[in-house]
């Protein structure tokens, strides 16, 4: 169903598709700036990747305690809310940027299908990020006493998010490369 929707996006008028991709990237950069600033202000003791992939309730409670002692745990909660805006950027990249890259390839080509798969990876990565964020609110409801096992699904969705976004980036690059090869070989772009 999602790939059908993405194929409809590919059939948009080219200028509208480009405009949506530009708006998406602008939103993504703006949201990333807000997210990074809020994360820094929260004084979270480690970077995103390290903090989200620990699989340890004890370690995450330690991070929460550090922010609580600094009086910035509420800022971190706000950061988690801001992250939903950032996630919208990932969803937009999957829907509009990756499909624009896919569109550079011929209709029905492997390169086009790879571009659509890249978009799908970004969308699924964004959905994993949403689940991870919602899970973090469960832990933040009792930051010093949540059950340690809650860190396992939290970190699992974080790892899944990072893996899917990395896959999406790799597939986007492959789709771009295939489009370049196709154009070099003068294969017509019929889509």
The secondary structure of residue 46, as a DSSP letter, is: S
Average of per-residue pLDDT across 3-10: 91
106-152, pLDDT tens digit by residue?
Answer: 999 999 999 999 999 999 999 999 999 999 999 999 999 999 999 99
Average of per-residue pLDDT across 89-100: 97
CA distances (Å), origin 50, targets 92, 150, 151: 26, 17, 13
pLDDT of residue 37: 98
The share of the chain scoring above pLDDT 70, in percent, equals: 97
Average of per-residue pLDDT across 157-185: 96
Task: Inform me whether the pLDDT recorded for 185 exceeds 90.
Answer: no
pLDDT of residue 183: 83
Banded model confidence at residue 188, pLDDT cuts 50, 70, 90: low
pLDDT of residue 191: 46
Average of per-residue pLDDT across 37-53: 97
pTM of the model: 0.93
CA 128, CA 111: separation in Å to the nearest integer?
A: 25
Average of per-residue pLDDT across 81-108: 96
pLDDT of residue 1: 75
CA distances (Å), origin 90, targets 60, 104, 120, 122: 25, 20, 11, 6
Task: Inform me whether the pLDDT recorded for 89 exceeds 60.
Answer: yes
Q: What is the mean pLDDT of the chain?
A: 95
CA 178, CA 163: separation in Å to the nearest integer?
A: 22
Average of per-residue pLDDT across 158-178: 98
């Amino acid at each position: 169903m999602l790939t059908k929707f993405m194929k409809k996006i590919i059939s948009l008028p080219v200028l509208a598709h480009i405009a949506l991709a530009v708006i998406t990237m602008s939103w993504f950069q703006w949201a990333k700036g807000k997210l990074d600033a809020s994360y820094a202000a929260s004084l979270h003791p480690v970077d995103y990747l390290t903090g989200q992939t620990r699989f340890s309730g004890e370690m995450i409670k330690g991070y929460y305690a550090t922010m609580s002692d600094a009086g910035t745990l509420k800022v971190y909660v706000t950061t988690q809310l801001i992250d939903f805006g950032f996630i919208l950027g990932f969803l937009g990249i999957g829907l509009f940027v990756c499909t624009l890259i896919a569109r550079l390839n011929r209709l029905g080509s492997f390169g086009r299908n790879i571009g659509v798969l890249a978009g799908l990876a970004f969308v699924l990565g964004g959905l994993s990020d949403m689940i991870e964020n919602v899970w973090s609110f469960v832990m933040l409801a009792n930051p010093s006493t949540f059950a340690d096992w809650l860190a396992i699904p939290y970190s699992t969705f974080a790892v899944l998010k990072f893996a899917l976004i990395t896959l999406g980036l790799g597939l986007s690059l492959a789709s771009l490369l295939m489009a370049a090869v196709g154009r070099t070989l003068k294969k017509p772009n019929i889509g």
